[in-house]
Amino acid sequence: MNTTSSLKAKLHKKKVGNVCTRGNSHPHYCCSDRSRKLLLDRCSAGIPPQYRALDWSGLLRNPAPDYPAACGKERSMTTTRVSDSAVVSEGANSLRAVPILVNNLSKTIGRSEILHDLTFAVAPGRVTGFLGPNGAGKTMTLRILLGLVAPNSGTATFGRRSFNELTNPGNMVASSLDSSGFHPGMRVGSYLRIQATALGVSPSAAQEVIDATGVGGFVRARIGSLSLGMRQRLSLTSALIGSPSVLVLDEPMNGLDPHGVAWLRDYLRYRAALGHTVLVSSHALAEAENLIDDVVLIDGGRLVLSSSLTSWRSVAPETLVISTAKADELTTHLRDRGVIAESASGIVRSLGVSEQAVRDIATQTGIELVAVAPATASLEQLFLDATSRKGIEQERG
């Protein structure tokens, strides 16, 4: 480097200040636009795909005077964006929840049909459970809904707009699909500060979400060192930090301890009570039963059921709880007659058979019954019955 170039470099360094990135991915507010852009580009590797398309130019050209300094020296942060009117407009829209509409959705990969003419709606003000066996097509449906995969035909929209048509999706739709998709070298606090800045969320509002999700206890940890439960909480925090009115969560209870599950259940029901749209995919049926209002059940990429949980129970086959010393033997006799039944610890649960029919079978086989009583079918029983019946119908067809 010649003398002139060296002098220019020193003057430039003195003018714009040094950028410290030790332990923190945020640029200092006094660094140059070029340095800030390089750092933001580097940090964006840890930002979910749906947020990478946001307009960063406002942050680059008009950084707030109190932009958080590097090395964790936090200051009050107010973000100025170029298109403030667009942000305000989208913010107003985010307060008004819209339904999720899936119409005639089909997806084929190679020769495998993943989704076939799938149609359902998710209403605002309710928690909807998106259920189905492994390989049913739930995750593919959510990926199409969030603009990550293109369908072969059909649409998946938020109201009348697809995810990619939303002006500022991060402030309208919260999504959590994979808790392993974070940059392992980033610190939790750095990632969330970038996320909040990108979405125009104030530090106080972001801190409320961080405190609520329990992430505050490990904000200085690197993401690669987090346990499954911690990463799940980070994923939820990242999704919820923009206070969106539509929540799309894939297996949000995975890895959470009982306290975390209880918090999530109360929080999602609170959001639904505000009129927000909540769609939750889950294999944890016992936990989902205490959470959801409506059910969308798919199997093999096809719709099996779209109904409220109450309505589903009202039309479900009668469930009986039978107490007998010969539970296993009675279960065998019931199954021989085509009745869905299971036994455990001297108790038989049967589905789709009347009490009188059970007593007649017991009399014919010489089995003494201690008690027979109707019971409300659990979500797990309803799920197993619906998916097993679908399999039987397909075999007959």
Report yes or no: 128 and 294 within 8 Å, Cβ to Cβ.
yes
d(CA 192, CA 206): 8
Q: Which residue has the higher pLDDT, 83 or 347?
A: 347
Give pLDDT tens digits for 289-310.
Answer: 999 999 999 999 999 999 999 9
Residue 6 neighbours by CB under 8 Å, 6+ apart: none
Task: Look at the domain 97-309 and name its fold.
Answer: Rossmann fold (3.40.50)
3-state secondary structure of 121: strand
Selection from 50, 52, 48 nearest residue 40 by Cα: 52
Domain ranges of the chain: 12-94, 97-309, 317-376
Give pLDDT tens digits for 327-338.
Answer: 999 999 999 988
- Six token digits for residue 39: 């750092």
Degrees, nearest 5: CA angle 394-395-396: 90
Strands 347-351 and 340-344: antiparallel
- What's this model's pTM, rounded to 2 decimal places? 0.66
- Six token digits for residue 126: 């309710």
Domain 317-376 class, CATH top level: alpha beta
pLDDT of residue 83: 27
pLDDT of residue 254: 83
* DSSP 8-class letter at 46: G
Examine the pLDDT at 54 and tell me if it is beyond 60: no
